[in-house]
Amino acid sequence: MIRWLKLILKSSLSNSLRAVADESIFETRSKQFARNYWIGSCLITQSLNHSDMADPLIVTRGLTKVYRMESYTVAALREVSLEIAAGEFVAVMGPSGSGKSTFMNLLGCLDTPTGGDYYLAGDKASELSGDALAAIRNHRIGFVFQNFNLLPRTSALENVELPLLYAHVSAQERRSRALARLADVGLAERADHHPAQLSGGQQQRVAIARALVNDPVLILADEPTGALDSRTSFEVMGLLQQLNRGGMTVVLVTHERDIAAFASRAVSFRDGRVVSDERIAQPADAQAMLGALEVAAA
């Protein structure tokens, strides 16, 4: 108990400046988020030092995915057992064909495993029906894709509103919540721009706003910087780091070590198995690197 208090004190000291900044950015967010934020702040420090004490958000037990071709079978994922605590920032790495994408798709409830169990926030997702999985994707998970996957010829605002449309939220509330999320990613004044009128970095920020709009518990980012230059990559990673500091659990798939360095934990896959799982003691700070880039440019 004393240790807990010490931890909280420590975290509030070390993060006090940032916390103030985060608060101002996310002051429009719901109460739930505010709660997550404080819990999250605690969990970050916890997970750095005492991950075994954390409440796991994601649990996989012997998760397996086998693709059946006509004449042979391919095991894309072989009995992966992993736990990810709420508030972690995990980078999933590995060469192509290692199973990292398959793992992501299963975490995102976009695909169903052929074996093993997957629990997300206590729900056994590996046993749910298609409609229930759709509800989980809608309410619990926010996706960020490599190629942004924004609807063309549709305004940024309407793109961000999309998850709320399927959550049966009223038009008025959709609009106000989507505008708030766009403001969070610094694109409030571009709400009526179409994707084609936005830069790659801006498009990815719209996609992040869309991922956040229904207050998920997990952000799944699949190579979110794959189509961006280093400057905008830092921007996007900075945004993800900021979210994570606010308590959001982020799982990031990447094959670049530089990008994985922004995470607090790196899990490597090879041939459908986890080959390494390590903490990153000192994650790189994307905001600082962006600042350095600007100094260099000046």
- What backbone torsions phi and psi does residue 93 show, to the nearest 5 degrees? -120, 170
Residue 40 or 116: the one with the smaller Cβ distance to other proteins is 116
Does 130 bind other proteins (CB under 8 A)? Our answer is: yes
Residue 137 or 265: the one with the smaller Cβ distance to other proteins is 137
Does 168 bind other proteins (CB under 8 A)? Our answer is: yes
Find the binder of other proteins among 28, 32, 154, 276 (CB under 8 A). 154
Find the binder of other proteins among 30, 127, 166, 257 (CB under 8 A). 166
90-119 residues in contact with other proteins (CB under 8 A) are 105, 108-111
Find the binder of other proteins among 9, 20, 53, 165 (CB under 8 A). 165
Q: Which of 293, 190, 279 is nearest to 238 (CA)?
A: 293
| In the complex, least distance from residue 284 CB atom to other proteins, rounded to whole angstroms | 29
Does 134 bind other proteins (CB under 8 A)? Our answer is: yes
Which DSSP string do the residues of 17-81 spell out, in sequence order? HHHHHHHHHTTTS-HHHHHHHHHHHHHHHHHHH-GGGSPEEEEEEEEEEEEE-SS-EEEEEEEEE
Does 275 bind other proteins (CB under 8 A)? Our answer is: no
* DSSP-H helix ranges across 140-187: 156-166, 171-184
32-51 residues in contact with other proteins (CB under 8 A) are none
Residue 68 or 130: the one with the smaller Cβ distance to other proteins is 130
Q: Which of 42, 244, 72 is nearest to 142 (CA)?
A: 244
Which DSSP string do the residues of 226-253 spell out, in sequence order? TTS-HHHHHHHHHHHHHHHHTT-EEEEE
End-to-end Cα separation, the chain, in angstroms: 49
Return residues touching other proteins (CB under 8 A): 105, 108-111, 130-131, 134-135, 137-139, 143, 145, 149, 151, 153-154, 162-163, 165-168, 171, 210, 214
